[in-house]
Amino acid sequence: MRNIAAVTRKLKWIGLLGLLGYVTPYEHLKLIWLFWLLCIFEIIAEWRIIGQSFLQLAGILVSYFRNKNQQPSFPDRAATKLYRLPFLGQWTVVNGGIDKEMSHSWSMPSQRYAYDFLILDEEGKSRLGDPRKHESYYCYNKDILAPCEGTVLSIQDGYEESLIDGKGSSNCSAKDIRGNHILISHGDHEYSLIAHIKKNSFLVGIGDRVVQGQPLAKCGNSGNSSEPHIHYQLQNGTSFYYAEGIPVGFSDITAEKRESYSRLDTRKVNQKLAQKGHVTYIERGWTVAANLTYNSGADRWHI
């Protein structure tokens, strides 16, 4: 069905020629509009993804009525626990921030303060080699670490990597835009969601207690993702649709701006990051790394 939908997705545009039936004497050309019926194949093939879009829309409405459009925001509300970056080494924020301009998705309640991370080289490139191969991307298959201690509430695994066309668009092959993902409860209504994880890479299971910095899985490209990256968000409930995002700062990190970022992304990058003590609120365009040491005796990373 997905293959049929891939063909009909293009064929349906022939329906535009139906306009000729209105602007020329050849009225029977209006019948060409019927090509739009081919959308049915897309709907059947992607009904779960379409359903998720409706749920996201419902989440916007629920949030609107719950807060009278005044969703709590930074600095009035921020994470109460100390969070660390969910990876080792230097990664770059390509989406995300604590205000509307920088936000990953301001209108989506749970994704308002989400972040997308990937690894860039000195030239501002995220890969070396064939853009269609997942292995070409620097961050692919890298460890994803627990941002804070907690309990694994849910895991979705089994979705294949989405194909990469190298043009920046997403070919979601999963039935869930998050692809393979994990939800961790940290207590006090703070939950971490990490998405687009590599199939069969999970090192923890549902119900497991995890410590901060513990490897959870590997970075992948499942779900609605145009290239391998880590999607991380902190939210105040378990639902991807109805929970609200929480601004999350990261403790003890280094953050720097690189000139080469503009080759990847021409959007504005701020000169400074908001800070509260050791906690930094990172944003799009900044390359960040956690200052960590590994305690082999305790078998864990320390900030």
What residue ranges bind Zn ion (CB under 5 A)?
116, 231
Question: Which of residues 164 and 292 has its CB atom nearest to Zn ion in the complex?
Answer: 164
Question: Which of residues 42 and 116 has its CB atom nearest to Zn ion in the complex?
Answer: 116
Question: Which of residues 116 and 190 has its CB atom nearest to Zn ion in the complex?
Answer: 116
| Minimum CB–partner distance for residue 26 and Zn ion (Å) | 48
Cβ-contact 222, 253 below 8 angstroms: no
Nearest residue to Zn ion, scored by beta-carbon proximity: 231
| Minimum CB–partner distance for residue 104 and Zn ion (Å) | 6
Question: Which of residues 218 and 231 has its CB atom nearest to Zn ion in the complex?
Answer: 231
Region at 281 (left for phi over 0; alpha for psi -120 to 50; beta for the rest) = beta
Backbone angles phi, psi at 42, to 5 degrees: -65, -40
| Minimum CB–partner distance for residue 178 and Zn ion (Å) | 9
| Minimum CB–partner distance for residue 4 and Zn ion (Å) | 29
Question: Which of residues 115 and 202 has its CB atom nearest to Zn ion in the complex?
Answer: 115
Q: How far is CA 254 from CA 18, 92, 212, in A?
A: 58, 12, 18
Distance CA 207, CA 272 (A): 39
Question: Which of residues 179 and 249 has its CB atom nearest to Zn ion in the complex?
Answer: 179
| Minimum CB–partner distance for residue 231 and Zn ion (Å) | 4
- Please state the separation of Cα 202 from the chain's center in Å: 18
| Minimum CB–partner distance for residue 260 and Zn ion (Å) | 22
Q: How far is CA 151 from CA 83, 197, 274, in A?
A: 15, 18, 29
Backbone angles phi, psi at 300, to 5 degrees: -155, 165
Rg of the chain (C-alpha set): 21
| Minimum CB–partner distance for residue 137 and Zn ion (Å) | 15
Question: Which of residues 99 and 252 has its CB atom nearest to Zn ion in the complex?
Answer: 99
Distance CA 73, CA 98 (A): 8
Cβ-contact 69, 177 below 8 angstroms: no
Question: Which of residues 42 and 59 has its CB atom nearest to Zn ion in the complex?
Answer: 59
Length of the chain: 303
| Minimum CB–partner distance for residue 226 and Zn ion (Å) | 10
Longest dimension (CA), the chain: 84
Spell out the residues 6+ positions from residue 282 whose beta carbon is closer than 8 angstroms to its own.
Answer: 93, 96, 97, 115, 249, 250, 253, 255, 273, 288
Distance CA 73, CA 182 (A): 24
